[in-house]
Amino acid sequence: MTSSAAERRARVSAILDRLGVSGDNPGAWAGAPMATAGRRVASFDPTSGDELGAVLLADRGQYETVVERANEAFKSWRMVPAPKRGEIVRQMGEALRAHKDDLGALVTLEVGKILSEGLGEVQESIDMADFCVGLSRQLYGLSMHSERSRHRMYEQWHPLGPIGVITAFNFPNAVWAWNALVALASGDTVIWKPSLKAPLTAIATHKICQQVLDAHGHDGVFGLIIGDDAEVGEAMIHDHRLPLISATGSTRMGRHVNQAVAGRLGRCLLELGGNNAIIVEPTADLDLALRGILFGAVGTSGQRCTSTRRLLLHESIADAFTERLAAAYGQVRIGDPLEDGTLMGPLIDEGSRAQFVSAVRAAVEQGGEVLAGGSVVDSATVLEGSTGAFVQPTLIRAHKDMQICKEETFAPILYVMTYSELAEAVAIQNDVPQGLSSAIFTDSFRSVERFLSHEGSDCGIANVNIGTSGAEIGGAFGGEKETGGGREAGSDAWKAYMRRQTCTLNWSPELPLAQGVRFDL
């Protein structure tokens, strides 16, 4: 411990005060009348177990107010020229940059990821704002040649409407930015339902960006509604006024959301579970691979959808490399994520720790062997007075037929398997329900091309000589199969937030029909 519990609490209190999220129900977070009688839900620091603050959950009436304001704001926001919308988003990026240190620390406080990751998450939102400035001048359509004389055809893109964004606890700031800032540049308004495990980050983020909108006289463009699934979540996914629901969470949650939204013929953008594998070939730079595997499996305490869950080692290097990896696991510094030198903080809560214990037990029962870690950590040895859900980063020797290896456990557990031929490794990698991220470490050109070919990785993300975690915002982020098929952030992901319109203009005195059809009176 580098600071006492009392010193830490004073530091935490100062951060919350500067962001304006101290106490119960901080700020007019919903952009609607304040909740006065809703159920009180506290936000807890997963490191210390201390309560950080609390909110009173919104009811259906407040939800209606937020949606009505978003609908009304959409009528004017969509008419703001896209480059001017981009300028407002740019100013949001500057506002986030000004609050980066405190907001990044708040992410660490609510989620338990180490401080550099908390700061990195806010930087991702800042980068997203920068990306959307350029995007606002690149909402391109195509022009096509008509088969009819003196006709012109082109397509254009229109704003879609109020967008519902449902985010998970593990990225309480960046995933919102992936959606909300792109939607804003596209001319949409946004209603955000954050995780109840990280409401203060949502409130602080909303306040920072709302101040920019207020300065430009745009009320209702952003709405924040903090409520439970039964009261607010169900209302959102069944609401015909929200043409798109972007939801991040478990595959089970995604199935339910998809069924509800599809039932009303709305659009879904789903970012769900991952069960990501890294393949390591004999030609690989093994030092590089070791670092990439360690961060992928241990970063954010294994609580990323892109976390590395499975490691496929060529049999010729498996024993020696596994020994090196197990030794590296033993050097991972578990501690207060606010402190320098900590590499792994706690899991989000006791429920997650119970899932960790259950998964390790199941792996052993199914024939696995624990090579490193495998146990919970006494939180009192990490921080004085802590009740945090700390666990050891865990390495388990496994085989491809173990059922637990095909399931996603949100914890720092890595299953190690061997293979003899690349085709076998790719088959093992793909033989899971999820399809988010994948990686190979190799110096073989042929292996790279096979991995990236039609017969290679079936994931939405395929990396070479980097790990499965840590995607850049310039590329479209998302996966296949039970990962949901959605794409967020970069590339042409903006098209999900807009509607396409094909336009045909006739500038002749004639009225020819397509395909030579005649309809003469």
**417 strand-pairing partners:** 312
Q: How far is it, in rounded angstroms, from Cα 71 to Cα 192?
A: 14
What is the bridge-based pairing of β-strands 394-397 and 369-372? antiparallel
According to DSSP, residue 149 is labeled T
Nearest to 129 by CA among 230, 9, 240, 209: 209
Question: Are 400 and 239 contacting, i.e. CB atoms less than 8 angstroms apart?
Answer: no
Task: State the pLDDT at residue 27.
Answer: 54
Q: Which helix (H) or strand (E) holds 450?
A: helix 445-452
pLDDT (0 to 100) of residue 4 = 82
Closest CA to 370 of 379, 378, 361: 361
Determine the 3-state secondary structure of 231 from DSSP: helix
| Full-model pTM | 0.95
Q: Which residues are catalytic?
A: 271, 305
**What distance lies between CA 276 and its chain's CA centroid?**
15
Measured from the Cβ of residue 99, the count of other Cβ atoms closer than 10 Å reads 17
pLDDT reported for residue 35? 52
- What are the backbone angles phi and psi of residue 419, rounded to the nearest 5°? -145, 165
If you average pLDDT over every residue of the chain, what do you get? 95
Question: H or E stretch including 163?
Answer: strand 162-166
The three-state DSSP-derived secondary structure of 479-518 is CEECCCCCCEECCCHHHHHEEEEEEEEECCCCCCCHHHCC
* Burial class of residue 301 (count of CB atoms within 10 Å of its CB; 0-12, 13-18, 19+): buried
The CATH number fitting domain 5-271+491-500, selected from 3.40.50.300, 3.40.630.40, 3.50.20.10, 3.40.605.10: 3.40.605.10
pLDDT for res 33: 43
Fold classified for 276-473 = Aldehyde Dehydrogenase; Chain A, domain 2 (3.40.309)
Helix (H) or strand (E) holding 397: strand 394-397
Q: How many CA atoms lie within 13 A of 342 on its CB side?
A: 26
Q: Determine the Cα–Cα distance for residues 388 and 36; give it in Å rounded to an integer.
A: 30
Contact present, 371 and 395 (Cβ < 8 Å): yes
Residue ranges covered by each domain of the chain: 5-271+491-500, 276-473
From residue 280, how far is each of 87, 284, 369 by CA, in Å?
45, 6, 20
SS3 222: strand
Sign of CA dihedral 52, 15, 91, 86: negative
Q: pLDDT tens digit string along 450-459?
A: 999 999 999 9
Instruction: Please identify which residue in the block is written with the tokens 């949409």.
Output: 188
pLDDT at residue 521 in the model:
79
For tokens 């491809």, name the residue.
400
| Both tokens assigned to 76 | 């004017």
Please, which residues bridge with residue 314 across strands? 419
Give the CA count within 13 Å in the CB-facing half-sphere of 33.
Answer: 9
pLDDT of residue 26: 73
Q: Identify whether the C-beta of residue 412 lies closer than 8 Å to the C-beta of residue 391.
A: yes
First to last CA, the chain: 90
User: Which parts of the chain register pLDDT below 70?
Assistant: 1-3, 25, 27-37
For 438-480, write each residue's pLDDT tens digit. Answer: 999 999 999 999 999 999 999 999 999 999 998 899 999 999 9
Q: What is the pLDDT of residue 36?
A: 55
In percent, the amount of the chain with pLDDT more than 90 equals 94
CA distance 43 to 197: 6
